[in-house]
Amino acid sequence: SATVLASGECLVLELTADALREAALANPDVLRLISRVVAERRADLERQKAEAAKARFELEDSSRSLLARIQEFLGLPDLFRA
């Protein structure tokens, strides 16, 4: 199953297990193709997650550095010491 949000009008088809089984028996390469697409999409999702995590880390690091420089410029102590 999946949860999706369409950006526009679309046609949605439901592929039941029985229909997929029948298609696989008629053409076993169907399963190979589906597996490949799903694996590619999973890998892409993992890449996107890793890139987003890296971007969040870099933003936080940059923010901390800027905060320290502002406090130093203003002659303030570290107001956010943990």
Largest CA distance in the chain: 76
Q: What is the pLDDT of residues 67-80, one digit of tens each?
A: 999 999 999 999 98
Cα(59)–Cα(73) distance, rounded to whole angstroms?
21
Q: Count CA atoms closer than 13 A to 36's CA, side-chain side.
A: 5
- pTM (global) more than 0.85: no
Q: What is the pLDDT of residues 26-57, one digit of tens each?
A: 999 999 999 999 999 999 999 999 999 999 99
Six-digit token string for 3: 């949860």
Cα(80)–Cα(82) distance, rounded to whole angstroms?
6
Number of H helices, E strands in the chain: 2, 0
